[in-house]
A and B are shown apart, each in its own frame.
Chain A
Amino acid sequence: MTQVQHMHANRNKIKISLGDRIFNVINVLLFIVITLVILFPFFNIFAISLTSNVEYMREPYILWPKEPTLEAYQYIFSTSLIPRSYVLTIFITLSATLLSTLITSMLAYGLCRGDLRGQKFFMIYLLITMFFSGGLIPNYMNITRTLGWSNNLLALIVPNSVSVFNFIIVRSFFRQLPPSLEESARIDGANEWTILFRIIYPLSIPTLATIAMFVAVGTWNSWFSAMLYMRDEKLFPLQLIVRNFVVHEARPADMQNMEGLRDAAGNRIFLNETGLKMACAVATVLPMVVVYPFIQKYFEKGMTIGAVKG
């Protein structure tokens, strides 16, 4: 970053020609357009989710509702489905992230110095899985038949807990740490577990955060495993509920009954299907959008390590 700033500081000293100025203006405008194109769809689903059915039916189109209402949100959070799924998705995401970060970093630390007997075998053993797997049906049968994990949350948490890509990122970071750190601790009689947890982890928080974020985002956004392994709607994560609702246009069983919806005056409230769908989508995407700016720098870092080191 400092290099870029330095570069721009240098460039700013240079006298700017008219052509350059025109280019600068066009460039700035271009990026305003690009950012608007990216942000508008998010704004749009939010607007629809706040629109009452009356207004939705009345207006030919709606950019922003005249009387925004939270009815759709009140309704989806009054069903048992969405709040339960929220808790469930958070639980799955947290446990998958914790498990994966722990197992992957332990693996990376154990194999980071390259002098373990069988090192080469273990590396090949791991790397093979990067480009060859059983495939969809063998995996499916392994989890449902051999392990019997249908309708079991373990099927959403454990199977991806070793990511070879993340393993490589952490391992290449551990390799850059000076070996003297471990050696002095070893002389003091600490074993490798103690060294990893007391010395290495505190030094590696940004890298661990990076892979934790990769796993967390991947888990939060995943729907396919849940579709394969979960039969019970009670165990569906948010993405799968939204997928069934929006992509397959099948309203969840829990949202069939809307007769109890009344406004303050006791009149029945009608909700429109699109508003309901978009409220579910907003509820699903909101945690990601809120958390994202805080984790952005970790991702940038992880991507560059991952691409440079492979």
Chain B
Amino acid sequence: MAILYKNLKLKTLSLGPLILLYFLSITEIDTQFSNYFEILSFNLQLIIVYYWVMKDPSILGNGHIFFAGIINDVIMGLPMGLSALGYLITALVAMYIRSVTVKMTFLQTGLLLF
């Protein structure tokens, strides 16, 4: 029973980032913080995708990233597929960095930093 409860808790916790990604995409929350900063603007969804793909790619499925992008496009009135493409490219970059950090050369570290 305790193991079952622990597994359920872990599963629920692992769903957190996914729920957050969908929630930010579907609600009318300003995820770019355009009203708070004069010149600075950043996208919260991209940060979530980048962070969680780097940390644990099994938590954010590629299909979910794609679907969240499509939802974001519809809500924001952008051409459909544009955000999805942006999120997937971010996931690709994160995945690449995750792969190369296993055996990274000095040159690659420099290229990634700049």
Partners in one complex: no
